[in-house]
Amino acid sequence: MNTPDCAILGMGYLGRPLAEKFFEQGSRVSALKRHITSDDINLPIDLHAADLNQAAAFQANFWPTWADKPVWFCLLPPSAVTQYADVLAAWLALAEQYGIGHIVYGSSTGVYGNEARECSESSTPNPQTESARKVWQAEQLFLNSSIENIDILRFGGLYSIERHPLNSLLKRRQIAGAHQPVNVIHQSRAVEALHYAACTPNGRRIRNIVENRHPPKQQFYQQEAAKLGLPEADFAPDDDSSGKIVTTVYHDFARFLA
């Protein structure tokens, strides 16, 4: 499986380790983030900074360095810019202008909403938050484009030792949803799924990238607390509300979900 050269929009929680994986395998990587820090200076990639809230950013002189990268990743969350759809439309227009053949978009299972049900790729999205609605609109933008290969990877809740949601939960009391199933994916698995998508273009694909275990939230975070040596989160014991379970009907990404 050959690892192609790539360009990454959003050098954050997934973008940075993804860039590292690509350049470690000999690929040329271009990337864009809002601010370059001292940690970025020695990265062996073509890294630039720009504020995409400014329309002039799309006339910057670094974009031609993206033109010969056959795969473009969009890992930019809605919170990163004020006009998400407009920014992605302008970025997509560049991809079409340069004749890019493959775009991989890091989406979210949030597009399915919070209704208690089992969701697969055939389920009707029901985004209920502003962020989820923006992600759903972005999916449609990419799927309706002229790009030959589009991958929409709907990630569950991301976690790792470096950034674990348990740390936020420990700041709260009487947390709701103790018995709701989790829909999560470890950062390393998410990066592997992104890499696999880039290496295996196959038309238009939508895939749920969620670990195939769905323990109740309280149980999951108890286990994670034991691993991390942290206190247990304070879940409300009398909250018996249920939630959604996200699964996949496809097998091509199964190795990353087990």
Domain boundaries defined on the chain: 6-160+184-212+244-256
Percent of the chain with pLDDT over 70: 100
Band of pLDDT at residue 6, cut at 50, 70 and 90: very high
What is the tens place of the pLDDT at every residue in 186-201? 999 999 999 999 999 9
Give the list of residues 6+ apart from residue 160 with CB closer than 8 angstroms, or none.
186, 187, 188
Q: Find out if CATH 3.40.50.1370 is the number for domain 6-160+184-212+244-256.
A: no
10 Å Cβ neighbour count for 54?
Answer: 10
Angle at CA 156, nearest 5°, toward 22 and 228? 85
Band of pLDDT at residue 121, cut at 50, 70 and 90: very high
What is the tens place of the pLDDT at every residue in 206-238? 999 999 999 999 999 999 999 999 999 999 988
What's the half-sphere exposure (Cβ side, CA atoms, 13 Å) at 88?
32
Residue 144 has pLDDT above 80, yes or no: yes
Does pTM surpass 0.85?
A: yes
Beta strand 184-186 pairing with 157-159: parallel
